[in-house]
Structure 1
């Protein structure tokens, strides 16, 4: 097995009850690599993230993290093994920014001094959050909430980062700052799988782009390949097979 492969998915299938959404998904993400998963709404992208993170069980196939089969493991166990998931802008609204971050430091130990150190380190990356540490998370803007959930991942120090709906509803200037953070994580060796509606955003950050249609991956391209053939990207993102 390739020692650089952080995430391997083989033949993953499943859905919700009697409704099958995914049909034999195969993919890999390597150390320090960012892979974007693109496609129109309803093709199964978010369902795939839920299965990878342990929120939904697949009917068939395997999920391997750092060489270990985690298909049957719960979400919390996957987090402890190095998988961190960002879905939307979820936070505990009644808790302060600092307390939200402290909660995510506890799985790594209950040492208060160490917790304060890692929380302060995460806040240093996001100056806009640092000035709002004592305010409830419910008072943050959409961009600030996205910063907060990404700050949580810094504290968890994952080997694999899964991000669903990365740029949805955010101003371009905010997206630009978040993209730079993901690039820094990749440079530090973190493997990242990003679910992204905007192909332009995906091309600006990903090493490879995967396109889904009807619960399967229909194409894989590099950003350079897509820039050279703009019509190809347009057809793929609209859910159409390309010649």
Structure 2
């Protein structure tokens, strides 16, 4: 569903990604982990078309989209949730309607918005309030609700649990599981290893712009010392 191969990327003269690659199969959930500043969010920008790579390729559902505009990637089924990004001056319902723009059938678009609000009773109760008045957890709910409206084939989530209470994170995790159960492939960047390993099938670890390990979540859960070393930037390199 999603594949990156040999991705190199720079900001000006500073190279950030070096031969980075990963893949997410249909129905799979995968985490991209590592210390801050190693290039995880940069790789997500390349996937979303916000940065052009210097080398390498990105494909969605087997189609090369390396040089395709962001809109085309969305039309091919990609959705990205970045933090708690919302349009603060728009109401909750208006935020969702904006993200239904890829749906040509307007009646279906309205149904998709109503369905997303049904999943989140708290958002339904605030559907006519500006998004700027929502709590952090509610804004994260809204960001995920926008993904429901788009019915993505591939969902990419950046900093899923940042700043949220554990009870809120638990509810959001359940929503992602439900999306995945409907066939959505999931790639998530997450600072909390415990959150990530409770959700995903496999995890990639990144260090200094390179993928240095790829292992199954159950194996990692059984080796906390190895996970700690990988998250702190010390690794025994593993071929994915």
Q: TM-score, normalised by structure 1?
A: 0.95
Aligned mates of 1:142, 1:224 — CA distance in 2: 31
Listed as ranges, the gaps of 5+ residues in structure 1 are 1-5
Listed as ranges, the gaps of 5+ residues in structure 2 are none
**Residue of structure 1 equivalent to 2:134:** 140
Mapped pair 1:230 → 2:224 = yes
Q: Which of 141, 150, 159 is 2:144 aligned to?
A: 150
Aligned mates of 2:181, 2:199 — CA distance in 1: 12
**Residue of structure 2 equivalent to 1:29:** 24
**Residue of structure 2 equivalent to 1:100:** 95
How does 1:41-80 map onto structure 2 within 5 Å?
41-80=36-75
Q: CA deviation at 1:110?
A: 5.6
**Residue of structure 1 equivalent to 2:104:** 109
* Contact 1:31–1:190 under 8 Å retained in 2: yes
Aligned mates of 2:104, 2:215 — CA distance in 1: 41
- State the superposition RMSD in angstroms: 1.0
**Residue of structure 2 equivalent to 1:83:** 78
Q: CA deviation at 1:242?
A: 3.5
**Residue of structure 1 equivalent to 2:203:** 209
**Paired positions, count:** 237
Aligned mates of 1:104, 1:154 — CA distance in 2: 10
Structure 1 segments, 4+ long, off by >6 Å, are none
**Residue of structure 1 equivalent to 2:174:** 180
2:85 aligned counterpart, secondary structure = coil
Q: CA deviation at 1:115?
A: 2.3
Higher mean C-alpha deviation, range 218-227 or range 91-100: 218-227
Q: TM-score, normalised by structure 2?
A: 0.96
1:106 aligned counterpart, secondary structure = coil
Aligned mates of 1:207, 1:8 — CA distance in 2: 16
